[in-house]
Structure 1
Amino acid sequence: MDERARIPVSLPRDNPTRSYWQDPPDAAVADLRTTETLPESADVVIVGSGITGAAVAWGLLQNGDQPGRSIVMLEARQACSGATGRNGGHTKAASYRTFAHHVSTLGSTAAAAQIARLELANIRAVHGFARSHGIDCDAVSCDTVDIIYDAAQWEAAVAAVAAMRAALGPDDPAAEYELVAGPDAVRARFHGHATTFRGRPDPVAGAVVYPAGSLSAYKFGVGVLRLCLARGLNLQTHTPSLALRREKGIDGVWLVETPRGTIAARRVVLATNGYTAHLVPRLQGVVVPLRGQVTAQRPGRALPAGGCLPTTYSFIYEGGYEYMVPRPAGSRFAGDIVMGGGLVRGAADEGLYEYGSTDDTALNPDVSAYLRDTTPRYFGPDWGEDDPAGRVRAEWTGIMGFTPDGFPLVGEIPHGGGDDDDGGGLWTASAFQGHGMVLCWMCARALVDMMEGRDANNELDSWFPRAFRITEERLAKRFQGRVSHNISGQDQGVPAE
């Protein structure tokens, strides 16, 4: 793993695989340059135009006491074309799967409960923002079901739900879970069948049901960008940030170098997730990229409601899981099944060689073959015959970011010293562990509060986890792979949402 973590992080690559969500790209925003030439300076430069960058821009633009503030957003490729435009769109916390690990790691039940509440708050905030601002992004609030194929995982799930109810209180919305025991009940309600993998039986042990949702993260991100543009954001697409350096002789000014010129700013925000170490070399091995893979499959002919199932899914087995989002009625390609993951069982060495990769221009053929087979395997006879047009409509890859301790990095990057000091006015919210749909909105909100001086007395501690803040101690940790989302407590890699 050390070798994979040391691979130099690159810029986003040209000609990435075509994401289902970006086909076609947004005609007005995808290739927008608000001004023909790159501004020479700005109050704030935001690098990255996904949900995090858009949320930071929105937060900064709400500050009415600085109406003349200039904000320039730089994007290496098309707008919202990174992880936001490539994930599965699953607004699902699955907090019970990490609760025990967080208690153990942080030494505090209260800290673990705070993370669970933040994840739920993030889901509600994203869906609420889409509703209140009229963003058409196919947003659906619904239940989700985790179908568990391993007896030890099931026992741990039951214990984790009990622990969360005890810690948060049975009426806390973040501890709202229903346990469905046994294969017959799971099959009757969710069409989940026992399966086999490489000749090994995967019997259904039970299921966990809880509130979640789904949306097109691409449409949501573009919708937020539109709101920001209306308030004065200057968006510059196809403008990669090549390097950061200090302005010589001018205290506190950063220079962001691009192929179209250099822009100066006193504050720079890196909303660059898995690519962050490209601009901040001291984060090499601290924010480690991981390539994930997703398919969009036409629904099997026997699936109820033409594939527009009422819940989203995860299929959990010893060592990992896949996640699944049915496209809702009324959306384009309604009934399509979006299935992601496949690293643990589909890729060589449980996905080892996907670490360190920023190559979203290609697919892993082994993962492709595995993901293509998941739907009829998990749904059995309830899948039926494939659509005459073929099972797979699209498949693509995207780049996530992971840290040694499994938490995102939020805050001002500490001073590193030297001529190109990488601290003081350099901020980030990044490395969302493949869990950005339930982390990045609230992390961006916290970052804006930090930048605007609304955390001078640690006011954020009432709702924002201290474990997410950047510290020198965290930056010194060694990356050993993804921190577990495995409720049995064993560290191992799992596909991301």
Structure 2
Amino acid sequence: MLPQANPTISYWQDPPDVDIANYLSSENVPEITDTVIIGSGITGASTAYGLLCSGGTAEKLVMLEARQACSGATGRNGGHTKAASYHTFLEHVSSHGIAEAVKIARLEYNTIKSLHTFAREQNIDCDLFSGDTVDIFYDKEQWQRCLASIAAMQSAMPEDLDGAARYQFWSADEAKEKFHMRGEVCIGAVSYEAGSLSAYRLVIGILKLCLGMGMELYTNTPARKIEQMEGHWRVQTNRGYINARRLILATNAYTGFLYPKFQKVIVPLRGQVTAHRPGRNMPREGLQTTYSFVYAGGFDYMIPRPKGKRFEGDIVIGGGLTKGTNNGVDEFGTTDDSGMSIEISKYLTEATSRFFGSAWGEDDKEGRVRKEWTGIMGYSNDGFPFVGKVLGDKDLWIAAGFQGHGMVMCFLCAKALVIMMSGEEESLNTWFPDSFRVSEERMAKKFTGICVSD
């Protein structure tokens, strides 16, 4: 179904951008264009930017968004640019081999670096933080798997020990002191390079660049139906029909609504996030890293707001999926981001004092939780995104299904998609994972269970 008309209000979108949130290039969509992109999140915006840079003013490009600009998962995430590639490295080695596992790990790391560099070069004010992150472990089995996976990564990637395979271990006592872990007793910790940003402000910045290069943007203009006609695609909207030579689905969790072949191939999953005012005992200078808390059956992630930014010191914490009804299974299949899970809400509200213990202290006099919201992610049948040409249909392209891991995939996946569309696909062989490409085999698989990424 289409995105809900009355979603919860994201921390990042309050207030919405006055120039772009409800932007309309004209009252009605044009009857004819070269390319239509459906979706204005980081994937759609990055793809549009890449096409405009490669095609110049000759590319007539239209972007459609069902609600306000960047109102989907990108504008509703926690703000982490964190790969945590070791979580899935051994699994990728087992299913696709070492070479492919290394490609995936490097793509995730390089996406972070490229995204941060792009934001700085384009002077996009998106509350960017580049630094380290730390994963705090509370489960022995997960900790042992972490050690084995990192050892495998460093063995397979000796040239990346200062980058994608750079990890530092901390004992429980060291983690307690360095990372203020005075709550539940942890087993150990590992730190590595990551970062954070406001994905909403980043994408708003990219959309402004695209508009300056001639893109037309239609917010509050849902694509209700797509049809392949003779030689072109026809898109039905509430502002008329638009005919395009080429169609790009940057629709993530909503892909199956428009293109039924993706039903049960990419499925929606509702995620939940809160923003906490810092406790009285938290460091006055703020926390110096981002965090994840790894326990049996799941994890939570946490991003402190940078110094000098709005609500500096706030702690954005999300996750808790398995704490929901039926171990979180009920959150799968829903596209309703107008509500939230009461069980997950309670868990996330208590999370900061539970993990930090006495280091948290008394809650702020205005209350612990400043904001709480939900967003809809797209999960694929095999844990990988679909990037490329949709088989069996002329000039239909897709980049979707990012498993809640889009901030360390979407930017370079969009770059790869633009390269594919240019006909220079062979240039991708050295760095783009084959497992991300669209194939008949992947399309034949249906989603059967939870596949969780950080």
TM class by shorter chain equals: over 0.9
User: 5 Å matches for 1:63-462?
Assistant: 63-64=54-55, 67-106=57-96, 108-169=97-158, 171-172=160-161, 173-181=163-171, 183-195=172-184, 203-247=185-229, 250=230, 252-305=231-284, 308-344=286-322, 346-415=323-392, 423-455=393-425, 458-462=426-430
CA distance in 1, matches of 2:378, 2:81: 18
Deviation at 1:67, TM superposition (A): 2.7
Q: 4+ runs of 1 displaced by more than 4 Å?
A: none
Does residue 33 (structure 1) correspond to residue 8 (structure 2)? The answer is no
3-state DSSP class of the match of 1:304? coil
Q: TM-score, normalised by structure 1?
A: 0.90
Q: Give yes or no for the alignment of 1:48 onto 2:39.
A: yes
Pick aligned residue for 1:472 from 421, 440, 445: 440
- Mapped to 1, the partners of 2:451 and 2:273 lie a distance apart of 21
Does the Cα contact within 8 Å between 1:140 and 1:215 map onto a contact in 2?
Answer: yes
Q: SS at the partner of 1:162? A: helix
Spell out, residue by residue over 1:39-88, the C-alpha distance to the aligned partner (whole angstroms, 9 max, x if none).
Answer: 11110000000111000100000125x53221000000000110110001
2:21 is paired with a residue of what secondary structure?
coil
Q: Distance in 1 between matches of 2:242 and 2:158?
A: 51
What SS is found at the alignment partner of 1:104?
helix
- Number of equivalent positions: 453
- Cα distance, 1:484 vs. partner? 4.9
Q: The residue matched to 2:54 in structure 1 has which SS?
A: coil
TM superposition score normalised by structure 2: 0.98
CA deviation string 1:188-245 (max 9, x = no partner): 11012352xxxxxxx3110010000000000000000000000001000000000111
CA contact 2:27–2:239 (8 Å) conserved in 1: no
What SS does the aligned partner of 1:175 have? coil
Closer/same/farther in 2, CA of residues 286 and 156 from structure 1, 3 Å limit:
same
**Closer/same/farther in 2, CA of residues 178 and 253 from structure 1, 3 Å limit:** same
| C-alpha contact 1:193 1:204 (8 A) present in aligned 2 | no
Letter in 1 for 2:394: G
Give the unaligned 5+ runs of structure 1: 1-9, 196-202, 416-422, 486-496
- Aligned partners of 2:57 and 2:213 also within 8 Å: no
- 1:329-385 CA-to-partner distances (Å, cap 9, x unmatched) read 0110000000001111x2011111110000001111111111000000000000000
| 8 A contact 2:36–2:62 mirrored in 1 | yes
Kindly provide the CA deviation profile for residues 130-189 of structure 1, in whole angstroms up to 9, marking residues without a partner as x.
0000000000101000000011111111111111110000644110000112x2111011
How far 1:36 moved relative to its partner?
A: 2.4
Gaps of 5+ in 2: none
- Comparing 284-293 with 34-43, greater Cα deviation is found at 34-43
Structure 1 vs Structure 2: percent identity of aligned residues?
55
Q: Distance in 2 between matches of 1:153 and 1:229?
A: 46
C-alpha deviation, 1:305, in angstroms:
2.4
Aligned residues: CA RMSD: 1.1
Matched with 1:14 is 5
Contact 1:274 1:400 in 2 (8 A): yes
The residue identity in structure 1 corresponding to 2:344 is V
Q: Which amino acid aligns with 1:441?
A: F
